[in-house]
């Protein structure tokens, strides 16, 4: 591939200086988030989580939590799908949460404006206080980084569960421990992260398998980091959907990555692991059980691991960039041509 920003192989970039502080900043938004969401009057009949690209798949852990515990139905939709479908249920008893890191995704801004016009309660999670999305909505919760926005989304979901009487104390303790736990987990996994990048840097197609709340992190890795930033053919495949056809392309020459968590969908990933170990080629298991998470209660590991693997996706990208020689900042089309 020659269309990217090639700078040559080099040492991997260090961990971001704000890895911990950005998450601590996000945790500090809890009072404002709870004040807003617990203060909503009247009933909520439906919750929509809306975003595009990395922001859409970034909503997966929050949706999983709400699917597991909330009585109010939650739907996750691409921004333009939301706008063009124009769901009839969107109205005064609907809450719409939109995610856009840049705050300038035009499809998400348009979706927000449409929902506001329908009388829905609308709030955004973004990284840019001065961004167009933050200015377009009545309420915006502003994180500093993608790691921070994942915590903000969890705080939003927990506030919505709290509205329904769910005891969120253990989950909040787990989130409070996450900033230092995430750094410890990524540092401890660094040798394997490097090994994955070195072994997978030139495969024709990178297939990553995941289930439940890990699907978002896996899709962020394949779509945002590999396709968008490294110009590699890649796909995330749901662990059950794998057995509905995609497994027919597996042979001993295939190299794959499997994400495994500690949530209730883990058996789906274990099934993929067993199949690949028997019929596939070299398989890398990114297993949540291998991560040290100091300060996180054992019962809450499955809850925080989707956020840890979002962090791991970024760290994998740094290693791919180092061994392949392509800067993560390069683009061929995005922000460069009309589309």
Distance of CA 281 to the CA centre of its chain: 27
Q: Are 32 and 141 in contact (CB under 8 A)?
A: yes
* Residue 176 lies inside a defined structural domain of this protein: no
Domain co-membership, 155 together with 185: no
Query: Which structure tokens are listed for 54?
Result: 């990395």
pLDDT, residue 335, reads 87
Last residue of a domain, one of 167, 194, 218: 167
- Whole domain around residue 247: which residue ranges? 181-324
CATH number at residue 296: 3.40.50.10490
Instruction: Report residues of the chain scoring pLDDT below 70.
Output: 1-4
Q: Judge whether 94 lies within some domain.
A: yes
Domain membership flag for residue 40: yes
Predicted TM-score of the model (pTM): 0.96
Indicate if 160 and 243 belong to the same structural domain.
Answer: no
Residues in contact with 321: Cβ distance below 8 Å, sequence separation at least 6, in sequence order:
12, 13, 229, 230, 327, 328
Do both 28 and 107 map to the same domain?
A: yes
What pLDDT shows up at residue 4? 64
254 located within any domain = yes
Alpha helices in 72-145 (DSSP H): 79-85, 106-117, 132-136
Domain count, the chain: 2
* Residue 59 belongs to some domain of the structure: yes
Is the same domain home to 160 and 265?
A: no
Tell whether 334 is covered by a domain. Answer: no
Is the domain of 299 the same as that of 219? yes
Same domain, 189 and 150: no
Enclosing H/E stretch for 251: none
161 and 196 part of one domain: no
Q: What pLDDT is stored for residue 3 in this prediction?
A: 58
Question: Which pLDDT tens digit goes with each residue over 312-326?
Answer: 999 999 999 999 999
Angle at 42 between CA 36 and CA 45, to 5 degrees: 95
Establish if 83 belongs to a structural domain: yes
Pairing mode, strands 234-238 and 206-210: parallel
118 shares its domain with 188: no
Contacts of 56 (CB under 8 A, 6+ apart): 50, 76, 77, 78, 79, 99
Q: Judge whether 87 lies within some domain.
A: yes
Domain shared by 285 and 213, yes or no: yes
Q: Are residues 149 and 279 in the same domain?
A: no
The pLDDT, as a whole number, for residue 5 is 85
Q: Which of 142, 167, 192 is the last residue of a domain?
A: 167
Supply angle C-alpha 202, 223, 68, rounded to 5.
130
Question: 131: helix, coil or strand?
Answer: coil
136 lies in the same domain as 202: no
Q: Which among 102, 136, 167 is the end of a domain? A: 167
Positive or negative torsion for Cα 240, 218, 61, 171: positive
């Amino acid at each position: 591939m020659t269309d990217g920003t090639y700078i040559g192989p080099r040492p991997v970039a260090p961990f971001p200086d704000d890895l911990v502080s950005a998450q601590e900043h996000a945790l500090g938004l809890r009072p404002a988030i709870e004040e807003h969401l617990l203060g909503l009057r009247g009933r909520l009949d439906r919750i929509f989580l809306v975003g595009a690209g990395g922001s859409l798949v970034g909503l997966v852990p929050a949706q999983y939590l709400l699917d597991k515990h909330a009585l109010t139905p939650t739907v996750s939709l691409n921004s333009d799908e939301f706008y063009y479908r124009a769901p009839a249920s969107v109205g005064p008893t609907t809450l719409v949460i939109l995610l856009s890191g840049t705050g300038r995704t035009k499809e998400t801004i348009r979706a927000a404006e449409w929902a506001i016009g329908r009388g829905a309660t609308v709030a955004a999670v973004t990284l840019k206080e001065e961004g167009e999305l933050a200015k377009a909505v009545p309420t915006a919760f502003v994180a500093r980084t993608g790691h921070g926005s994942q915590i903000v989304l969890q705080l939003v979901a927990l506030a919505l569960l709290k509205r329904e009487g769910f005891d969120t104390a253990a989950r909040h303790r787990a989130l409070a421990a996450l900033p230092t736990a995430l750094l410890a987990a990524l540092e401890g996994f660094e040798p394997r992260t490097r090994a994955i990048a070195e072994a997978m840097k030139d495969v024709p197609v990178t297939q990553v398998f995941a289930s439940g709340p890990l699907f978002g992190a896996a899709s962020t890795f394949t779509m945002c980091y590999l396709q968008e930033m490294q110009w590699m053919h890649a796909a995330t495949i749901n662990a059950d959907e794998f057995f509905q056809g995609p497994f027919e392309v597996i042979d001993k020459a295939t190299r794959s990555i499997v994400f495994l968590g500690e949530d209730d969908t883990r058996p789906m990933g274990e099934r993929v692991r067993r199949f690949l170990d028997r019929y596939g080629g070299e398989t890398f298991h990114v297993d949540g059980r291998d991560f040290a998470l100091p300060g996180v209660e054992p019962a809450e590991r499955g809850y925080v691991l989707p956020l840890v693997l979002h962090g791991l996706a970024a760290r994998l990208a740094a290693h791919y960039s180092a061994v392949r020689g392509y800067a993560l900042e390069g683009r061929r089309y995005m922000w460069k041509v009309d589309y």
